[in-house]
Chain A
Amino acid sequence: MHMANELLSPAVAMGGYVIAGGSVALAARKLRDHLGTELVPLMGVMGAFVFAAQMINFTLPAMAGTSDHLIGTVLLAVLLGPHAAVIAMTGVLIVQCLIFQDGGLLALGTNVINMGILPAYVGYGLWRVMIGQPGKLTIGRLLPAVWSAAFVAVALGAAAVCVEVALSDRLTIPIGKFSMVMVGVHLISGAIEGAITCVVLVALYRLYPNFAPKELNWHGPRLERGRALAAIAIVAVMVAGAVSWFASPYADGLEFAVHEKTHENTPERLKTDNTVAGKVDELQAKYALLPDYGRRSAPLGAPPQKNNETEKAAAVKNSWPNVSVWTSVSGLLGLGLTMIVIQLIARAIRRGNVQTS
Chain B
Amino acid sequence: MHHQYIDRYARGDSAVHQLDARTKLLCALFFTCYVVSVPKYQISPLIPLILLPFAWISFAGIPWRFVGKHILICSPFIVTLAVFNPMFDRTSHSVAILGQRVHLAGGYLVAVNLLVKYLLGLSCLVALASTTRFDHLLLALTKFRLPRILILQLSYLYRYLFELIEQAHEILRARRARSAGRLPLSLKIRSAAGMVGILFVRSYESSQKVFLAMQARLYNGELRPVHQLHVRTVDVVLLFSVMTYLAFCFWITHQ
Contacts and interface: CB of A to CB of B under 8 A. Distances in A.
B122 to A, nearest CB: 6
A245 interface: no
B231 interface: no
Contacts of A56: 168, 171-172, 192, 195-196, 199
A172 B85 contact: yes
A95 B168 contact: no
Nearest to A323: B96
A147 B37 CA distance: 40
Given A323-B99, A343-B58, A45 B210 contact: yes
Contacts of B15: 349, 353
B223 to A, nearest CB: 9
B37 to A, nearest CB: 5
A59 B181 CA distance: 13
Nearest to A303: B103
B98 A94 contact: no
Interface residues of A, number: 136
Contacts, number: 374
Interface residues of B, number: 119
A303 B103 CA distance: 7
A80 to B, nearest CB: 10
A37 B221 contact: yes
B199 A52 contact: yes
A235 B186 CA distance: 9
Main secondary structure of the interface of A (DSSP, over half): helix
Nearest to A84: B153
Given A59-B188, A328-B99, A318 B94 contact: yes
21 contacts: A7-B81, A28-B147, A29-B147, A37-B219, A40-B153, A42-B204, A45-B164, A45-B206, A51-B165, A75-B196, A90-B150, A91-B153, A100-B6, A105-B28, A106-B33, A172-B88, A196-B192, A200-B193, A272-B88, A276-B91, A342-B59
A41 B28 contact: no
A48 B203 contact: yes
A216 interface: no
Contacts of A272: 88
Contact of A55 (B149, B152, B165, B197): B165
Contacts of B191: 58
B239 interface: no
Contacts of A301: 102-104
